[in-house]
Amino acid sequence: MSVQLQNRPEDFRQYALQRAGELKQMVVPYLQQSKTIPTGLSCSEMYEARRSTLLNYFSATLEDWEDWHWQMAHRISDSHVLASLLPLTTERRLEIERVGKTFRWAVSPYYLSLMDDTDPFDPIRLQGLPTFEELVEDFGEDDPMGEEITSPAPSITRRYPDRLIINVTNMCAMYCRHCQRRRNIGETDTHSPRVQLEAALDYIRANPEIRDVLVTGGDALLLSDETLDWLLGELHAIPHVEIKRLGTRAPVTLPMRITDELCAVLAKYPPIYINTQFNHPKEITKDAKNAADKLVAAGVVLGNQAVLLKGINNTPEVMKKLNQELLKIRVRPYYIFHAKNVKGTRHFVTPIQDGIAIIEQLRGYTSGLAVPTYIINAPKGGGKTPITPQYLVSLKENKAVLRTWEGKYVQYETP
């Protein structure tokens, strides 16, 4: 910066104007690229046309469409039905059938309506439909997180001192092709038996250090309202449980699940935090926004845990657009998870360098609210490990050398 400051207000203003010009030039390339990244709102007309096709096929009404039970009853899991609703070559249909013999697949009508008819690399299609790449056998494990060896009681996973998971179901509205728990999907939908949930609650009651409980699955919101009311009520009544969390992708794959009745249940047991998983801006639709609005009105705090996925969101531009769109619907970007080494998901796993590059282009270049923590889960239940670019260059007693978000090196002293 060439401005020579002489402690005069006019010099300060000149400096500020020049600096503002420099900052503006930094964001111009993203603003130009951002216009080419589709979002759920920009695709609304296409989604509505796709919805009409699906309603005609099922001889259904808009009222049916808005009923989450109807959506679950009409999940598409047959390749011939899929081929009637989405242009597929015979080879592609047979590919889906073959992969489906090893890894179950199913897609809600709603999520299918978000898929592009013409683009085989559409990020929604890649997340929802099987490919031959899932059958590559030289990579991954069934249980890379070591959940089987970190379960001290039925339905419980415990990896940290003061919090744990209750796994309540294997059901999902859509079986994501990158799922970390695909080993649990099986061939039938099942909820954890009540006797197991009661044993999990007994374990929590007996361990007063547990202050934070995550209810997940599968998708926690695919429990009935009555079961959720019972389970949250039991947790709420345990004095040392301070926080209840729900893990769900329903706002993304089944937003009509967010009913007034469900919200009435959630409102009874504050504080409740819901972390969901939007992975691409195309998933942030009018329906998703309405679901988020209802949850916020019920007092729920919303966060997002995106998964870094090759070919879907592993560029700084797409991830920045995703996080900015999330903030607009009052969902706080919380984590970016590096894709886990799960059997059948090699094609989704990116280099770690992709995640670091994304954080480099978020920190300082957009609101701190739009900068989640990049996480790698240590193998065998080792827990979440944050991965950040190197901003601390050196530290000696009271002197540090820092690298700023712009890549400038500065010295910093403490008393």
Q: Is 181 in the same domain as 236?
A: yes
Q: Is 247 in the same domain as 321?
A: yes
What is the reported pLDDT for 142? 75
Digit-coded pLDDT (tens) for 41-70: 999 999 999 999 999 999 999 999 999 999
Of 295, 3, 287, 29, nearest to 173 (Cα)? Answer: 287
Say if 80 falls within a structural domain.
yes
Q: Is the pLDDT at 285 greater than 70, yes or no?
A: yes
Going by the DSSP 8-state scheme, the letter that residue 76 receives in this structure is B
Q: What is the CATH number of the domain that holds 165?
A: 3.20.20.70
Digit-coded pLDDT (tens) for 332-389: 999 999 999 899 999 999 999 999 999 999 999 999 999 999 999 988 888 899 999 9
Q: Residue 363 burial (CB < 10 Å; 0-12/13-18/19+)?
A: middle
Q: Is the pLDDT at 4 greater than 70, yes or no?
A: no
Say if 408 falls within a structural domain.
no
Q: Is 283 in the same domain as 343?
A: yes
The H-assigned helical ranges of 211-257 are 225-236, 250-253
Question: How many whole angstroms from its chain centre is CA 390?
Answer: 26
Q: Predicted confidence band at 1 (pLDDT cuts at 50, 70, 90)?
A: very low
Q: Residue 48 burial (CB < 10 Å; 0-12/13-18/19+)?
A: exposed
Q: Is 268 in the same domain as 156?
A: yes
Which helix (H) or strand (E) element contains residue 112?
helix 109-113
Q: Is the pLDDT at 189 greater than 50, yes or no?
A: yes
Q: How many DSSP H helices and E strands does the chain contain?
A: 15, 12
Q: Is the pLDDT at 281 greater than 70, yes or no?
A: yes
Among the candidates 114, 135, 156, a domain finishes at 135
Owner of token pair 């996080």? 323
Say if 242 falls within a structural domain.
yes
What is the arithmetic mean of pLDDT over 116-129?
95
What is the reported pLDDT for 186? 67
Q: Is 186 in the same domain as 67?
A: no
What is the arithmetic mean of pLDDT over 325-336?
98
Q: Is 151 in the same domain as 184?
A: yes
Q: Is 14 in the same domain as 70?
A: no
φ, ψ dihedrals at 394, nearest 5°? -155, 155
- Among 2-6, 13-17, 164-168, 173-177, name the one with the lowest average pLDDT: 2-6
Q: Are 375 and 384 in contact (CB under 8 A)?
A: yes
What is the reported pLDDT for 296? 98
Q: Predicted confidence band at 136 (pLDDT cuts at 50, 70, 90)?
A: confident
Q: What is the mean pLDDT of the chain?
A: 95
What is the reported pLDDT for 181? 82
Among the candidates 81, 111, 135, a domain finishes at 135
Tokens of 169: 């179901």
What is the arithmetic mean of pLDDT over 391-406?
96
Of 105, 108, 103, nearest to 137 (Cα)? Answer: 103
Q: Is 240 in the same domain as 259?
A: yes
Q: How many CB atoms lie within 10 A of CB 29?
A: 10
What is the arithmetic mean of pLDDT over 212-227?
97
Q: Is 334 in the same domain as 365?
A: yes
Say if 320 falls within a structural domain.
yes
What is the arithmetic mean of pLDDT over 320-324?
98
Q: Are 41 and 286 in contact (CB under 8 A)?
A: yes
Q: Are 282 and 43 in contact (CB under 8 A)?
A: yes
What's the structural domain count of the chain?
A: 3
Q: Are 114 and 345 in contact (CB under 8 A)?
A: no
Q: Is the pLDDT at 139 greater than 70, yes or no?
A: yes
Q: Is 257 in the same domain as 302?
A: yes
Q: Is the pLDDT at 129 greater than 60, yes or no?
A: yes
Going by the DSSP 8-state scheme, the letter that residue 209 receives in this structure is T
In this prediction, what percent of the chain has a pLDDT beyond 70?
98
At a CB cut-off of 8 Å and minimum separation 6, what does 298 contact? 263, 264, 266, 267
What is the arithmetic mean of pLDDT over 400-409?
96
Going by the DSSP 8-state scheme, the letter that residue 302 receives in this structure is E
Q: Predicted confidence band at 407 (pLDDT cuts at 50, 70, 90)?
A: very high
Q: Is the pLDDT at 225 greater than 50, yes or no?
A: yes
Tokens of 60: 């259904």
What is the reported pLDDT for 41? 96
What is the arithmetic mean of pLDDT over 156-181?
94
Q: Which residues pair with 332 in a beta bridge?
A: 303
Q: Is the pLDDT at 393 greater than 80, yes or no?
A: yes
State if pTM tops 0.75. yes
Question: Which residue range is the domain that position 169 belongs to?
Answer: 147-386
The H-assigned helical ranges of 148-245 are 194-205, 225-236
DSSP-derived pairing of the beta strands 156-157 and 163-167:
antiparallel
